[in-house]
Amino acid sequence: FEDDLDQSGRLKGISRDPVSGVFYVFADYAIYQYSVVKAERHVWKIFLQKGDIDSAERYCLGDEEKLDKVRTKKAQDYYNKGKYVESALCYAMTHSSFEEVALKIMRPEVEKDGQAALLTFLKRRLETVKSSEKTQLTMLVVWLFEIYLNMIGNKSSSSKRARMLHGDAEDM
């Protein structure tokens, strides 16, 4: 809420009635009366701007739209700090674009924890996707399946290489 006080002259002061809780703002040519109703409804935004994510979550009061904004900010903060797995968990609880988040996690700078973060994101998203969203569900399952197959393939090829190196060492 904003009020245009320019026509009233210079702002002189503000006072609060301790009995009624009403605020009075007085200027050169006018007096304004304000009643505070649901003061906590924007508190979450103030905490979010200050970076106090936990307090912001508490003051969302079950409003999913506000919670989504807070969780998205939390996910971005984790991502910027290099905590990619935690970031993926938070992103999975938001309504952020699936493709946008997946591409973000697959960036080269995330290489170290990228696969773990991607797996975390995909598994968590799989838990939250509705059964009516067949395309999304199929894509998640196929992608997870592909990642697990690659992991199995990488492990078996590393163990074969290790056996070959061990065998070469015995021949010498």
What does the pLDDT look like over 24-33, one tens digit per residue? 988 888 888 8
Spell out the long-range contacts of 95-104 with Cβ–Cβ below 8 A and sequence spacing 24 or more: 95/68, 96/72, 98/125, 98/136, 104/79
Structure tokens at 138: 């199929």
What mean pLDDT is predicted for residues 69-92? 93
DSSP codes joined into one string, 28-58: SS-EEEE---SGGGGHHHHHHHHT-HHHHHH
Structure tokens at 99: 């493709």
Question: Is pTM, for the whole model, over 0.85?
Answer: no
Q: Where are the beta strands (DSSP E) in 82-133?
A: none
Contact 59, 47 (CB under 8 A): yes
β-bridge partners, 31? 26
**85, 59, 84, 89: which is closest to 71 by C-alpha?**
89
DSSP code of residue 14: E
DSSP code of residue 108: G
Q: What percentage of the chain reaches a pLDDT higher than 90?
A: 37
Residue 169, pLDDT > 60, answer no
Task: Reduce the DSSP state of residue 133 to 3 states and report it.
Answer: coil
Residue 94, pLDDT > 90, answer yes
Structure tokens at 36: 């505070």
Spell out the long-range contacts of 137-145 with Cβ–Cβ below 8 A and sequence spacing 24 or more: 144/119
Spell out the long-range contacts of 102-105 with Cβ–Cβ below 8 A and sequence spacing 24 or more: 104/79
User: How sure is the predictor about 160, in pLDDT bands with cuts at 50, 70 and 90?
Assistant: low
What does the pLDDT look like over 25-63, one tens digit per residue? 888 888 888 887 777 778 889 999 998 999 998 888 888
Instruction: Give the pLDDT score at 138.
Output: 93
